[in-house]
Amino acid sequence: MKKTGRGVACMWYGIWGGPSVAVVKLDTGGDVTLITGEIDIGQGSDTILSQMVAEELGIPLDKVNVLSGDSDTMPHVGGASGSRVTYMGGNAVRRAAAEARRKIFAVAAEWLHATVEALEAKDGMIYVKGVPDEFVSFANVAVSIMEREGPIVATANFSPSTTQINPETGQGDPFQTYVYATQIADVEVDTETGVVKVLRIVAAHDVGKAINPAFVEGQISGGIASGLGQALTENIMIDKGRTLNPSFTDYLIPTSVDMPEVQTIIVEENEPSGPFGAKCVGEPPSLPTAPAIINAIYDAVGVRIKDLPATPEKILRGLKEKKENS
């Protein structure tokens, strides 16, 4: 017999990790080079950080080039961990881009006979606000600056404002900002085999501002895949220090055919301390996935699994114990 159940799990997550440094350099012809130590390991951070530079400077995205990854030449950062890159790296990048913008606007203001405050940039052009016929191209300003002063190079850093936890009172502020999420899992449990099939997961995540919504959805789906494996299949077996299942033949991870329907809900609540209001979404989606699935299994068959993964053997054992105790 197959029974269905629904489980809910909520989480909060503090963005942590080391500070970040970024360099924005204006090149001949109006291109801009972003130099960062932040590493794109597949989460799309090169694109995200490029978007921030383009938005801050008012230039097309394809005008931004990224140099990253070499710790010998790039600025020191905290690494691609702790879901920190968009928040920490993004703040440093936006500050560096803002400094470059200030220098560029200073020259553009002379050309346009206006104050820096009266200028705005869009699509590679610098305008006098409210006067669409008064403009100069970003590229022309760049060439002028290169001829007069050499390249513009702007550097900025960001380090979160935190405090240590007081061991006596338990009070402190270890994270500058937090993200929140709720996930709901629908499952089907076969009471004869103990096999669990996850049918659907609805994931609502507060990410601040979604700089790139498609990437946010991808990160949520990836986190759910990780949590799915944690809940149902993944288990490192060790005997006297030796790993008994060292390959994917024995260590079972979910594949694409194991993935349930995923419905993402992006909750955008502006974070004042984040770049353009953004926070993070990297690791949080994996956190409530397993608890939601375990709660759904309990809702379906009344068996509470407390030792992950929830294998068919454990579920059948729980069903047997439940029957004996009824």
Distances (CA, A) of 140 to 25, 260, 315: 16, 52, 69
Q: Are 24 and 53 in contact (CB under 8 A)?
A: yes
Q: Are 223 and 289 in contact (CB under 8 A)?
A: yes
Over its C-alpha atoms, the chain yields an Rg (Å, rounded) of: 25
Catalytic-role residue among 38, 134, 283, 313 = 283
Q: How far apart are CA 253 and CA 257, in angstroms?
A: 11
Token pair listed for 97: 């881009």
Closest CA to 315 of 302, 303, 300: 303
Q: Residue for token digits 């440094």?
A: 21
Token pair listed for 205: 């995540």
Catalytic residue flag (residue 283): yes
Q: How far apart are CA 93 and CA 75, in angstroms?
A: 12
Active-site residue set: 283
